[in-house]
Structure 1
C-alpha cells in the first residue's frame, strides 16, 4: 500500500498479504540499515548499489520490499546532513562514531519519518524491533524508541530548519569547492538539485520522436528521452526487449555524440563499462573496441550489446597497458570521484573525500597521456568525467594541452547540444551541472554533472 503524509517527498510501496501488519517491511528495513551501516562503517566503502544488492539478496526480499529498502537507503543519504544534525541534537552525547550499526538504524528510521510516505508508528516500531533483534543494539532499544518518537513529534520544526541544502545536506568540503568553482548561487542550485533526485533518461536507438510518443516521454533538447515519474518497471516498457533504447542520463549521452565517428571508423572506448557510450558509438556504424579492466562490468556491457544487436569488440584490459595504435577516434570516460552523479547516487557525497579527488586526478592525467598515443593524426579524442571538480575536468585539459602540443581543442557548438548554450563553458568544453535544464516543460529537471573536452590531433 502507499500513503502520503505532510512533509514527505517520496512515494513508497510496502508489501501486503500473509505477513502480519506489525512485521510487514521488517526485512526491507533491515536490508536498508545493513547497507547504510556498511557504507558509514568503512574507510573505503563499497557503492550503495553494491551494498544494497547484497543486503537484498541476504533478506530474499520481494520486488516491492526491495524497492522499499532502496528508497529508504537512498533517502537516508540524500538528506544525511539533515538527519545527522537532527539526531545529534537529540542524543546527549551525539551520534556514536564507533557504532555504525546504531547510527544506521537511527538514520534509516529518521529518513522514513522526515522524507518518506511511511506512517510514523511503523518507522518507530519496526526500528525498535530491529534494535531488539540484534545483540549489539538490544540494550539500546529504549533509546531508539525515545529518540525516534521525538523526531516524529518535531518533524515540522526539523524540516523548517533544514531549507539550506548547501549548508545542511552537503559535506563541508564539497560545499566549499562548489562555491569556489561556481559561485554561491550556482552552488546552492546544485545542492537543491541533488535533493530533488533524478529522473530516468533514455537514449533511443531508433526514431526519437516516435519513441517519445510511445513511452509518454519528454524529448530533451540534447536528444535524450525523459520518462514520467512512477511509470512501469524498465524491462516492462515497450522497446526494451528489442533494444530500441537504453537507460542513460542525458548528460552522459553527450560525450559520445561529440566524438561523431563516421561509419566504419576505428573507435576505441576506454573505461567503457557499463557501456552506454559504447552502444552510442556502435549505433553509428563505427567499428568499436570497448576496453575495461573489470570483467564483471564488461559482462553487463556484453549483455546490453547483445540485446541491441550491435557488433562490438570487447577487451578486458587496463587502458594503460594498451600499445600505441592509430584509431580514428578515442573516447576516454575516465575513473573519477563521480560527484556529478549525486542526484542518483547520494552516497557519493558522504563516502568520497578530497583525497579521492587528488588521487583520481593523478590517474586521469596518466590515462589522458596514454590515450593520446592511441589516436591517429587528424583523429579525435574526447575526454570526459562525471565529476563537478575542476581538477578532474577543466584543469585536467588545460594541463594536458600545455604538455602535448600535438592536440588542439575542437570547441563544442550550441547546435550540438540542442541549442542549450549554458552547457558549454568559455573554453568550448561541455560542462553540465545538476541544476541545468531544470525548466524543461513537462519534465522533471536536472542533469548529471559532466565535463567533456573534444580534442583533435594535429601532428
Structure 2
C-alpha cells in the first residue's frame, strides 16, 4: 500500500479518536491543524474516511463484534472501524488491511495487536461486504433520538436517519445569475435557487471559486435570507453572523449589512469570504446582546444544537451529549427578546436555527409571541418558491427536515420564522 494511503487512513483514525474519545468536533480538530502536514488529496481522503466511518459506525461495530471477544483500545477500534467501512464499500482488501496493521503497529502501546487486526479484517473482508446492506440504518444516540422520536414519531425518525446515513450533496449559492452557475458547473438548479452538485471534488479548485462567483451553502440555510427579502440599500442587522453565508446573501442583494458575531476566528473567515466574493458588509466582533439602535430588518441565526446538520456533520452526535441544550435554549429566548426590542414598528425579524429540536424553533417562537403581544408571525413571507405548504407549522414558522426532498438528496434540518412588529 502506498505510504500516502497509510497517512490518510492514520489521520482518519486520529480524527475519530478526537471525536469519540475527546468529544471534539471535526471542524475544531481540523482547524487546530490535524491535517496540515497532508497533501490536499490526502487531506480530502482523511476527511472523507472519517465522515463515512462516523455515518456507518453502528454497522461497523455490529460486524466487528462478531470477531472480537472484548473491545480493544479506542485507537485500535477506530482503525478497525475505518478499515471495515472501506472494505464494505468495495475497497481493495490488501491495501486496506495492510494499512490498518501498519497504523496499529506504529504505536508501541498497540503494536502487539497487529495480529488481531489482521485476522479480524481478513474475516470482515470475506463476509462484511455482503452483510453490510442487510444491517439496519444506523441510529442516533438515545440522548438525541428519544426527543426527536417524541417530536416527529418513529417513522419520520427512520427517514431522517436514512438521510443522515446517505450524506449530503454540495449546494452552492450564486452571487449573481444562478442559471449561469448551473450551466457552468452542471448539477441541478433547485426550486429554491440553490445549485446542487452530487460529485464536486475539491471545492477550492472548482470553476468560479477564486473569482467569488458562488459560495457553499446548504439549500435550507439559504432560505432565511430569501424569507427576509432584503432590499437594495436597506440597512439590515445580522446577529450571530458567522460563518457568513447569509452575510454574503444579504450583501449580494445590495443591502447595507451590519454583521455581528462574538467569535473572532469565525469572523475572520467571514472577512475572507467577503473579500473573495468582492462583497461588502460591516463586520463587528462583539456580543449580539449589547447591540443597540432601531432596525427595520433583522436576521437572527441563533446559536443552537446544530442537530439539523448531521447529514453533513455526522461527528456531532458522537462529540456532544445534549448537556448544553438547556443553556442554548435560554440564550435563544434572550436573544430573540433583544432582537424584538431592536425592531422598529412595522419592521421584520427572521429568526432561525439549524436545529431539529422544537424547543429551539417552534416553542421559542410560540413563547415569544406570547411575551410580545405587539408581534405576529408573517406566514405569507414563508411562501417562497420551493417551499411546500405542509412545511408551515401551527405557530406560523417553517419546519425543514433532512428527509424532505429525499429523492433529490435531502436538506438540512432548519426552523425559520418571520416576525413583524405592529
Please give the TM-score of this superposition, normalised by the length of structure 2: 0.94
Of 195, 208, 213, the match for 2:183: 213
Equivalent in 92, 106, 115 of residue 80 of structure 2: 106
2:111 to 135, 138, 142: 138
SS of residue in 2 equivalent to 1:235: helix
Q: How far 1:22 moved relative to its partner?
A: 5.0
Equivalent in the alignment of 2:18: 38
For 2:84 and 2:317, the matched residues in 1 are separated by: 19
Match of 2:35 among 42, 51, 56: 56
Structure 1 residues 148 and 265, CA gap change in structure 2 (3 angstroms): same
Distance in 1 between residues matched to 2:91 and 2:130, nearest whole Å: 18
1:15-414 aligned within 5 A: 21-42=1-22, 45-52=23-30, 54-57=33-36, 60-93=37-70, 95=71, 99-115=73-89, 117-156=90-129, 158-162=131-135, 164-165=136-137, 168-229=138-199, 231-322=200-291, 324-412=292-380
- In structure 2, stretches of 5+ residues that fail to align are none
> How far apart are 1:418 and its partner, in Å?
2.5
Question: 2:421 is matched with which residue?
Answer: 457
Q: Is the 8 A contact 2:169 2:196 kept in 1?
A: yes
| Residue ranges of structure 1 left out of the alignment (5+ in a row) | 1-20
Deviation at 1:414, TM superposition (A): 6.4
Q: Using the TM superposition, give the Cα deviation of residue 422 of structure 1 relative to its aligned residue in structure 2, in angstroms.
A: 4.0
Secondary structure at 2:237 match in 1: strand
- Listed one character per residue, the Cα deviations across residues 357-389 of structure 1 (whole Å, up to 9, x for unaligned) are 223212211221222222112111111111111
User: Does structure 2 retain, via aligned residues, the 8 Å contact 1:249–1:448?
Assistant: yes
User: Is the CA contact (8 Å cut-off) linking 1:32 and 1:52 kept in structure 2?
Assistant: no
Whether the 8 Å CA contact 1:32–1:55 is kept in 2: the answer is: no
CA distance in 2, matches of 1:417, 1:103: 47
* Equivalent pair of 1:325/1:373 in contact (CA under 8 Å): no
* Alignment partner, residue 386 of structure 2: 418
TM-score w.r.t. length of structure 1: 0.87
Count of residue pairs the alignment pairs up: 421
Q: Larger RCO: Structure 1 or Structure 2 (Cα < 8 Å, ≥ 6 residues apart)?
A: 2
Q: Deviations over 1:367-418 (max 9, x none)?
A: 2122222211211111111111111111111122122223111114564143
| Residues 303-331 of structure 1 deviation map (CA, whole Å, 9 limit, x = unaligned) | 11122222200000021232x31011111
The list of structure 1 runs, each at least 4 consecutive aligned residues, that deviate by more than 6 angstroms after superposition, is none
Tell me how far apart the structure 2 counterparts of residues 287 and 160 of structure 1 sit (CA, whole Å).
Answer: 51
